[in-house]
Amino acid sequence: MGKEIERKYLIDLARWQTVQKPAGQLFRQGYLVTDPNKTIRVRLTDTKGFLTIKGTTTGATRLEYEYEIPTTEAAELLDNFSTAELSKIRYVVEFKDKTWEVDEFLGDNLGLYVAEIELESEDEAFELPDWVGQEVTGEQRYYNAVLTTNPFKNWM
């Protein structure tokens, strides 16, 4: 059974901007299903495509199944079947033996930055980088699928 245990945080933008980080990778992702109990997502980068199925989140855990698919098929699925899309730049940063993924959202979500860390268990101990701020794990408005229909620009 596929399982994702993930915690999400807002970031301190001033501190984040001082971090030496690798180049980010542009993601285009769209949703074929955005039901509160399940999502089916297609993600396209410049080199890979993915089909991902996610279940309901309980705490910081949910079922997740992800499959690499050809980029041409990912683009066709996005162009022909996606009901909602977003774009973002993802930065992958190592800190204290943990991998952090920081998403800089674009378009209607411009100005939103969210850091994620995947864990082996919900009670796994880890240190927060100084650029990590408020935890937003479980806050649905920060789910990517929700950001496609209620983007950050509408929160103000």
Q: What is the pLDDT of residue 70?
A: 98
pLDDT (0 to 100) of residue 156? 78
Domain harbouring 69, CATH code: 2.40.320.10
Alpha-carbon span 149 to 85, nearest angstrom? 9
pLDDT along the chain (156 residues), means of 10: 91 96 96 92 97 92 96 98 97 97 98 97 96 96 95 93
pLDDT value at residue 128? 97
The pLDDT assigned to 1 comes to: 61
Identify the domain containing residue 47 by its residue range: 3-154
Query: How high is the pLDDT of residue 112?
Result: 98
Mind telling me the catalytic residues? Answer: 31
Q: What is the pLDDT of residue 12?
A: 97
pTM of the model: 0.94
Residue 29, CA distances (Å) to 12, 49, 88, 104 in order: 25, 10, 9, 13
- Could you count the other beta carbons within 10 Å of the beta carbon of residue 20? 5
Give me the number of domains the chain comprises: 1
Q: How far is CA 24 from CA 4, 87, 88, 101, 151, in A?
A: 23, 12, 9, 10, 21
